Amino acid sequence: IRRFAKAKEEYLHHIREEEQEQFVHAEKSLTPADVQHMKRVFESRKKIEKSGATVDKKIRLKSK
């Protein structure tokens, strides 16, 4: 479980890094039309992917 917690932490760090650095940098190279298109595609894909997802009860880690 600790390994999964560490993997989750690393995954979330990666996502934050993309959102705060890489996407911001990439957006500077896109036209406003490109940005709007990408937002529409992202929102559409997000709805599709979330519709098929299931959420399981969270597991509590034992403290040391």
> What one-character-per-residue DSSP string does the chain give?
-HHHHHHHHHHHHHHHHIIIIIHHHHHTTS-HHHHHHHHHHHHHHHHHHHHT---PPPPPPPP-
Tell me which amino acid residue 4 is.
F
Tell me: pLDDT of 64 over 70.
no
> For position 58, what pLDDT does the model report?
76
Per-residue pLDDT of 6-59, as tens digits, reads 999 999 999 999 888 988 888 889 999 998 998 999 899 999 988 988 877 777
